[in-house]
A and B are shown apart, each in its own frame.
Chain A
């Protein structure tokens, strides 16, 4: 892992279009600003992992039963 030291207000550039600004730090927390092209998704790692697990667990193993889907849809109204 590349480790760099930065002061508050200083920036990091990743590639030619991602800029990370260290805004401030206090009580063990670091606040940063990220400027990146809108199509680049930015996630907190632990939340990304939760979504990844959830997505994988949602893969269909059987074709959903149309009657079950009808009942599900009724429940939404």
Chain B
């Protein structure tokens, strides 16, 4: 198994040209390989789950191979959701065959989208990211649950 790279190595992924958030604001991160790519970014597999100053608990999923690809993500544990959705998610955490939790715990993230026109965020609950930081592998899965939406609107307070 590869040793997780040091923070300095994570930081080297970000340059002033590619970093939307300011390189100095990257406070940490972990490398994750999406071996089979992510739908829509099929040619990309290496990403960093990065911490950005003042963003916590939100994180950034940044492609190492394409500096223009960065996504806002959130650990699903922070999301309020219907009970049946919570059950689906909890089941998923326990399933041993999702391809990336042979060792250690998995963490589940949702991808958030900011719609500038309506100034609102939505979460893709239908297709969360399952990440195992110990193995450094991740996968985007699609849940069969009909009640889960790719466009779950979130409220701002």
Which of A3-11, A12-20, A22-30, A53-61 forms part of the interface with chain B?
A53-61
What residues of B have a CB within 8 angstroms of the CB of A71 in the complex? 156-157
Band of interface residues on A: 20 to 34
State the CA gap A30–B126 with chains docked (Å).
Answer: 24
State the CA gap A49–B20 with chains docked (Å).
Answer: 27
State the CA gap A52–B155 with chains docked (Å).
Answer: 24
Give the Cβ gap from B152 to chain A, nearest Cβ, in Å. Answer: 11
B103 at the interface (CB under 8 A from A): no
- Contact status A41-B156, CB under 8 Å: no
Give the Cβ gap from B20 to chain A, nearest Cβ, in Å. Answer: 4
State the CA gap A66–B156 with chains docked (Å).
Answer: 13
> In A48-76, which residues have CB < 8 Å from any B CB?
48-60, 62-64, 66, 68-69, 71-76
What residues of A have a CB within 8 angstroms of the CB of B41 in the complex? 55-56
- Contact status B98-A64, CB under 8 Å: no
Interface size of B by CB at 8 A reads 45
What residues of B have a CB within 8 angstroms of the CB of A39 in the complex? 35-36, 99-100, 137, 139
State the CA gap A66–B40 with chains docked (Å).
Answer: 27
Q: Can you name 15 extra interface pairs (CB under 8 A) apart from A51-B126, A75-B157? A: A39-B35, A44-B142, A51-B140, A55-B127, A56-B40, A58-B113, A59-B71, A60-B71, A62-B20, A68-B156, A72-B121, A72-B156, A75-B156, A76-B154, A77-B80
Taking Cβ atoms with an 8 Å cutoff, the residues of B that contact A are 20-22, 35-36, 38-41, 54-55, 57-58, 60, 68-72, 78-80, 97-100, 111-114, 121, 124, 126-127, 137, 139-142, 150-151, 154-157
A sample of 24 cross-chain residue pairs with beta-carbon separation below 8 angstroms, ordered by A number, consists of A38-B98, A39-B36, A39-B139, A41-B99, A41-B139, A41-B141, A43-B39, A48-B39, A48-B142, A50-B150, A53-B40, A54-B124, A55-B39, A56-B41, A58-B71, A59-B70, A64-B114, A68-B114, A68-B156, A71-B156, A72-B156, A74-B156, A74-B157, A75-B157
Taking Cβ atoms with an 8 Å cutoff, the residues of A that contact B are 37-41, 43-44, 47-60, 62-64, 66, 68-69, 71-77
